[in-house]
Amino acid sequence: MTEMIALSAERGGDRTRQRRVRLFKKWGGKALQGVITLLLVSILIFFATQAMPGDVARVILGVNATPERLEIVREQLGLNLPVWQQYVNWLTGILRGDWGVSLTNGVPVADTLAIRLRNSLTLGALALVIMMPISLVVGIIAAQRKDKVFDKLFMGTSMVVNAVPEFVLGTVLIALFGTTVFRIFPPVALIPPADMPWWHPLAIVLPVATLVIGGVAYLSRLVRVSFIDVMSSEYIQTAQLKGLSTRRILYRHALPNALAPIIPAASLVAAFLIGGTVVVEYLFSYPGIGLTLVESVGNRDLPLIQAVVLIIASAYFVFNFIADLFSDAGSAGRKE
């Protein structure tokens, strides 16, 4: 009997190790696929910016520059080299931490993006911190009141909000709270780039609210569905039959299991926030990488454009990869 128990435990351990090996291989494959994808994205970014109309040397020197001066600048910037060699030089420079120099002001791109990236991360982090508990509370309340007035009102409102682009939502908030109606908050976030965003709390309320409203409308629906599924499961019904209190069932049993599929979704929301942040920063003139991208396109500042787009693409990949990790880990945990 003892030998049978030991043999069964050994087989169970072997199965667990095999699942973990498969999981790590899967993660490794996704990481390799991500690296290849980012490499292809970098190629697309570089050649797309090279195809933009205009002459970089003339942008730097102005329309009255002589052909001799233009040729000197092209040689200094390596623009006279073959395009593939320019790409290799650019990519190896990024891998060394050299992002190039802005063509607009001559400041290193890394120095410019350090401040702007900090501002964008602050905006996104504030939105996530506010969004998560609100989504959890609203989703649970809607699940507990399934098919009642609050639930129907919530579902209808969330569908409308999800269908509205961030640009329209932000414009409505500006009209309501920044200009014509209440005039409580500044309609634009005129924050000096070197200042910390939280030094100007009123200026960041509307940009954060624009991101939070859209995120809550999406994430709280997932919370609602997950919570309804958990509350209808057999072990929750068994706990109710045993006479356990609603509070204990909610916090001890239902909530931990309902959160499992929501965490990967939160990572996806963070990925989608990246695209929304670009729009919101432009709308509110918030000094982040989104506004930097728009300004650099207008100035044809190729090193800045390339760096910002590559950062956005990399961040999008990272958040999607994290979501996949949480999803795979949760699936493996349930199987075990």
> pLDDT tens digit string along 116-139?
888 888 888 899 889 888 988 888
What contacts 167, CB < 8 A, 6 or more positions away? 279, 283
Question: Is residue 7's pLDDT more than 50?
Answer: no
Lowest mean pLDDT segment, chosen from 6-15, 40-49, 64-73, 137-146: 6-15
Domain extent at residue 73: 56-98
- In sign, the C-alpha dihedral spanning 259, 262, 267, 269 is negative
* Residue 74 in this model has a pLDDT that exceeds 80: no
Instruction: Decide which of 39 and 26 is more confident.
Output: 39
The pLDDT tens digits of the residues spanning 311-328 come to 888 888 887 777 777 665
pLDDT for the residue 2: 52
pLDDT at 244 over 70: no
Same domain, 221 and 263: yes
Share of the chain above pLDDT 90, in %: 3
- Residue 254 banded pLDDT, cuts 50, 70, 90: low
Q: Residue 270 above 80 pLDDT?
A: no
Contact 185, 177 (CB under 8 A): yes
Question: 132 and 26 in one domain?
Answer: no
Q: In terms of domains, do 257 and 322 share one? A: yes
* Average pLDDT of every residue of the chain: 78
Do residues 27 and 19 touch, judged by C-beta distance below 8 A?
no
Computed on alpha carbons and rounded to an integer, the radius of gyration of the chain in Å comes to: 26
Quick one: pLDDT band at residue 209, thresholds 50, 70, 90?
A: very high
Model pTM? 0.78
Measured CA to CA, the distance from residue 208 to residue 122 in angstroms comes to 10
Taking 70 as the threshold, does the pLDDT of residue 245 lie above it? no
Of residues 240 and 295, which shows the higher confidence score? 295
81/46 same-domain check: no
- How crowded is the C-beta side of 88, counted as CA atoms within 13 Å? 5
User: At what angle are helices 302-335 and 262-284 packed, to 10 degrees?
Assistant: 160
Half-sphere exposure of 211 (CA within 13 A, CB side): 32
* Residue 129 shares a structural domain with residue 256: yes
The DSSP string of 253-305 is: IIHHHHHTTHHHHHHHHHHHHHHHHHHHHHHHT--SHHHHHHHHHHHT-HHHH
Print burial letters for 230-253: b (CB count within 10 Å at least 16), e (below 16): bbeeeebeebeeeeeeeeebbeeb
Is residue 46 domain-shared with residue 65, that is, in the same domain? no
Which candidate, 158, 131, 127, places its Cα nearest to that of 281?
127
Torsion angle of C-alpha atoms 292, 294, 300, 302, degrees rounded to 10: 50
Q: From CA 37, how far away is CA 295, in angstroms rounded?
A: 27
CATH number for 278: 1.10.3720.10
Mean pLDDT of 271-279: 78
Q: How many domains does the chain have?
A: 3
